[in-house]
Amino acid sequence: KGSGKFLVGGNWKCNGTVDSVRKLVADLNGADVPSDIDIVVAPTFLHLGMAKDQLKGPYQLAAQNSWVGKGGAFTGEVSAEMLTDFGIPWVILGHSERRSLIDESNEFVGEKTAYALSQGLKVIACIGETLQQREANQVFEVLDAQLTAIADTIADWENVVIAYEPVWAIGTGKVASPEQAQAVHAHIRQWFEEKVTPEVANSIRIIYGGSVNDSNASNLAGQEDIDGFLLSLDIRSAAALHPSHQDKISSRL
């Protein structure tokens, strides 16, 4: 395991209405979250303010994206310094939906990571292979290239969490088996050992994302190199943040 608390991130994606956000926030406020878990909640930019005003307790907020450099004439973007100024501590970068649908390259994600860190944000950097890449036995090659592009731009990994999210498992109900996920997480830790430093390899948190649910969470959490989860907003993330589920997760740590 990396050092630091088990981290559960809830990615709300492009979902939510004033009403549903109010309900979800009330649900989260009513949950009894153990203090040994970091919970990071990522609403849309539009709903971040509402969530910030209404969420109580241990929840930390994340944006789902930030601009690659200083703000200015970049219509539609939100800059890292705006997030810091607004009191948002985290940002999710490199989510596979942005890599594939908006064509974000490894290099662009690397630059965004560097800029976000320079502005004091903590980054959940997502990496993962497609089904086609897995079937072509390119998993490690793909992940190494995604990691290298980040390593090329940053020197300090203290405020970075890596989210391994196999694209074929995101939103599909097809979860990686605990063994499959563990093998990849171990590879990622080894990559840090060889390409960065053993200290970073030992400390960095590597979380898993992709169809995590009530019934598979505890087996995944029990794996040596799995330090948390990233899950999407739907009934499962509310359930995953529920105290009974938390107990299952923490009991396996």
Catalytic residues, which ones? 95, 165
DSSP annotation string for 173-200: S-PPPHHHHHHHHHHHHHHHHHHS-HHH
Among candidate residues 88, 187, 202, the one with its CA nearest the CA of residue 146: 187
Residue from the set 230, 245, 246, 249 that interacts with ligand PEP by CB under 6 A: 230
Q: Is 146 in the site for ligand PEP (CB under 6 A)?
A: no
Q: Is 57 in the site for ligand PEP (CB under 6 A)?
A: no
Tokens of 178: 């605990």
Least distance to ligand PEP from the beta carbon of 86, Å? 22
Interface with ligand PEP: number of residues (CB under 6 A): 11
Among candidate residues 1, 18, 34, 23, the one with its CA nearest the CA of residue 241: 34
If one counts every other C-beta atom within 10 angstroms of the C-beta of residue 203, the result is: 15
Q: Is 150 in the site for ligand PEP (CB under 6 A)?
A: no
List for the chain the helix, strand, coil content (%; round to 5): 45, 15, 40
Residue from the set 171, 190, 199, 202 that interacts with ligand PEP by CB under 6 A: 171
Q: Is 111 in the site for ligand PEP (CB under 6 A)?
A: no
**Range 198-217, binding ligand PEP (CB under 6 A):** 209-212
Q: Is 170 in the site for ligand PEP (CB under 6 A)?
A: yes
Q: Where on the chain is the footprint of ligand PEP (CB under 6 A)?
A: 11, 165, 170-171, 209-212, 230-232
